[in-house]
Amino acid sequence: MAEPLPPTRPRIPGSGLAKGLAVTLRTMARKTVTEQYPDAQPELPPRTRGVIGLFEENCTVCMLCARECPDWCIYIDSHKETVPPAAPGGRERSRNVLDRFAIDFALCMYCGICIEVCPFDALFWSPEFEYAETDIHELTHERDKLREWMWTVPAPPALDPAAEEPKELAAARKTAEKLATTEAEQAEQTAQAEKSDPTKPTHPTDPTKPTHPTDPTKPTDPTKPTKRAEPQEGDS
Ligand code: SF4
Ligand code: SF4
């Protein structure tokens, strides 16, 4: 058997109107959240996904971004070039040269996978979003335009003071310290060797070099009298 419904309270006439007015008054008293775009630019969070910038100097044409893009909206063309060996007798190497790098933002779903997978830090998010076009073809940004977006990429946030030192910096610091230690040891060894060997001149000079160098190619002037030794007392 169905349970009886709870008794409903009798409606006071005009209560709905009073409720509506209360909501209106509450909203009027609240701070407005409307932004006056485009007269006032919105304050976007630093990690906003607006558009993708390409730093093509870092791109090695590994094609990882194009392969991982779920929308297949990254277009890359390249060719191979042979690089001569760095030293005589070495082997020639080949390297990829970028011919085309384009992203179709009409297809892009701003997932950020391409930026995540790029192993060489060649792609970055920019918060710029004002690139609407009336022609959909214009939404395919070629490498020049992608490079221009790099100017709008915000600087990376400062490292946490307690964060681990980046691997590259740690390696460079260790190499510099090692070099400085080796140089100091060598200088100390030289100083000790000079101290223990008194026959060795303190400031070794190049024996092949004359002490007062004269230009041997310069002929001496025969008409010029040579300086004679002053006669000493007792000389006859
Ligand atoms: S953000 Fe996503 S969809 Fe857009 S280009 Fe990168 S991988 Fe493709
Ligand atoms: S993953 Fe990075 S380095 Fe590789 S092709 Fe894409 S942008 Fe260039």
CATH assignment of the domain containing 68: 3.30.70.3270
pLDDT over 60 (residue 211): no
Ligand with minimal distance to 121 CA? 2
Question: Residue 148 is encoded by which pair of tokens?
Answer: 């221009």
Query: Which H/E stretch holds residue 146?
Result: helix 143-149
State the virtual CA torsion across 13, 19, 24, 28 in degrees, nearest 10: 130
Residue 14 lies in a domain: no
pTM for the model stands at: 0.63
Query: Which H/E stretch holds residue 147?
Result: helix 143-149
Number of domains in the chain: 1
Q: Report the pLDDT value the prediction gives residue 35, as an integer from 0 to 100.
A: 85
Residue 77 lies in a domain: yes
Q: Side-chain half-sphere of 131: how many Cα atoms within 13 Å?
A: 21
Residue 80 lies in a domain: yes
Q: Which of 52, 64, 141 to mutate to test the pocket of ligand 2 (most atoms within 8 A of CB)?
A: 64
Lowest mean pLDDT among 26-35, 61-70, 107-116, 223-232: 223-232
The sign of the CA dihedral 43, 49, 51, 56 is positive
Minimal-distance CA residue to ligand 1 atom 8: 69
Give the atom of ligand 1 at the shortest distance from the alpha carbon of 112: 1
User: Mapping DSSP to helix (H, G, I), strand (E, B) and coil, where does residue 13 land?
Assistant: coil
Among all chains, which residue has been given the structure tokens 């909206």? 73
Angle made by CA atoms 166, 168, 174, in degrees to the nearest 5: 100
Report the C-alpha gap between 128 and 142 in whole angstroms. Answer: 16
Question: Residue 19 is encoded by which pair of tokens?
Answer: 């409720």
Report the C-alpha gap between 186 and 154 in whole angstroms. Answer: 46
Give the residues surrounding ligand 1 with Cβ less than 6 Å away.
69-71, 73-74, 103, 108-114
Report the C-alpha gap between 194 and 201 in whole angstroms. Answer: 8
Quick check: 200 and 207 in contact, CB under 8 A? no
Give the atom of ligand 2 at the shortest distance from the alpha carbon of 60: 3
Residue 82's domain comprises 51-152
Residue 121 lies in a domain: yes
Give the atom of ligand 1 at the shortest distance from the alpha carbon of 115: 6
Residue 102 lies in a domain: yes
**For the purposes of burial, counting CB atoms within 10 Å of the CB of 64, is it exposed (0-12), middle (13-18) or buried (19 or more)?**
middle
Strands (E), the chain: 51-54, 74-83, 93-104, 123-126, 140-141
The closest of 118, 140, 152, 139 to 44, measured between CA atoms, is 152
Residue 23 lies in a domain: no
Report the C-alpha gap between 150 and 54 in whole angstroms. Answer: 6
Minimal-distance CA residue to ligand 1 atom 7: 69
Q: Report the pLDDT value the prediction gives residue 58, as an integer from 0 to 100.
A: 95
Quick check: 102 and 140 in contact, CB under 8 A? yes
Report the C-alpha gap between 72 and 140 in whole angstroms. Answer: 13
Tens digits of residue pLDDT in 7-50: 777 778 888 999 999 999 999 999 888 888 999 998 898 889 99
Q: Check whether 65 is labelled as a binding-site residue.
A: yes
How confident is the prediction for the chain on average, in pLDDT?
A: 85
Q: Please give the distance, rounded to the nearest whole angstrom, from the Cα atom of residue 67 to the centre of ligand 2.
A: 10
Among all chains, which residue has been given the structure tokens 């002037």? 221
Tens digits of residue pLDDT in 216-227: 444 444 444 444
Give the atom of ligand 1 at the shortest distance from the alpha carbon of 109: 3
Q: Check whether 69 is labelled as a binding-site residue.
A: yes
